[in-house]
Amino acid sequence: MEENQLNSPERVVVIGGSAGSLEVILQLLPQLQDISSIAIVLIVHRRNTDDNVLEELLRMKSGLRVIEIEDKTAIQSGRVYVAPADYHLLFETNLTFSLDVSEKVHYSRPSIDVGFESAADVFRNKLIAILLSGANNDGTDGLLAVKDSEGVVIVQSPETAEVPFMPEYALKHLTPDYVLSPNEMVAFILSLVS
C-alpha cells in the first residue's frame, strides 16, 4: 500500500466508449507518451470472448504500459488500465479496483455509467471523464455524477464519432465542460501532465 501511495496519480482520466470508440482510443494512446503523473482507465463495451486481445493491441500500438484490470489491482500513475469484459468496474478509496458481476446496465457489463459514478465518488475533482462514440445511452448518468463531484466532463464531438448516438444523447442531457475531437482530447490530456 505504501508503494501505491507513492505512485498515486495526480489526476485520473476515465474514458468510456462503445461502437466506434476503439478507433479513437487507437488514435489517442500513441500520442500520449508521457503520462507519468496520471492514470488512464478504459471502460469499453466488448465481447466476453475478447480475452486479452484488446490489451495486446493497445500495448503494441501505443508502447504504453497497458494492464488488464483484475480484482484489487492498484491504481498507479503512468499506466493505462483496461476494464475486463463482463465485469462492472469499481474504484476503491484505497486506490485499487474491484470487479462486480451485478446486473447489466444499459445491456452492458462493464457499464460506463457504473465506472464513471464509482470514479466520481473516489476521485471527485481529480477526475476527468471522457465519453466516446457508441450506440446506446450508457455513460450519461455517470457524466452527471462526475459533474456533481466537480470533475471534468468531456464528450466527443458527435461529428467526429463513428457512431454518434452516445455523445449526442449525453449532449441532450447535460452540459459538458468540453466537446472535443480526438485530436483536441490528446492536447487536453497532455496539458494535464505538462
Q: Which of 108, 113, 133, 138 is catalytic?
A: 138
Q: What is the pTM of this model?
A: 0.94
Question: 4 or 80: which carries more pLDDT confidence?
Answer: 80
Containing 14, the helix (H) or strand (E) segment is strand 11-17
Using CA atoms of 91, 18, 66, 98 in order, give the dihedral in degrees to the nearest 10: 20
Q: CB 177: neighbour CB atoms within 10 A? A: 16
pLDDT of 3 reads 45
* CA gap 128, 141 in Å, rounded: 15
Q: Is 148 an active-site residue?
A: no
Q: Which of 21, 45, 88, 118 is catalytic?
A: 45
Query: Cell match 462493464: residue?
Result: 110
Give the mean pLDDT of the chain. Answer: 92
pLDDT of 1 reads 39
Q: Is 108 an active-site residue?
A: no
Pairing type for strands 127-131 and 152-156 reads parallel
pLDDT of 164 reads 97
**Per-residue model confidence as pLDDT tens digits over 37-79:** 999 999 998 877 656 788 889 999 998 999 999 999 999 999 9
pLDDT beyond 90 at 7: no
Query: Cell match 505538462: residue?
Result: 194
Q: Is 18 an active-site residue?
A: yes
Question: 18 or 104: which carries more pLDDT confidence?
Answer: 18
**Per-residue model confidence as pLDDT tens digits over 120-144:** 999 999 999 999 999 999 999 999 9
Q: Which of 18, 21, 62, 133 is catalytic?
A: 18
Question: Do 138 and 108 form a contact (C-beta atoms < 8 A)?
Answer: yes
User: Which residues, at least 6 apart from 56, have a Cβ–Cβ distance to it below 8 Å?
Assistant: none
Q: Determine what percent of the chain is predicted with pLDDT higher than 70.
A: 95
Question: Do 126 and 11 form a contact (C-beta atoms < 8 A)?
Answer: yes
| Distance between start and end Cα atoms, the chain | 27
pLDDT of 64 reads 93
pLDDT of 2 reads 42
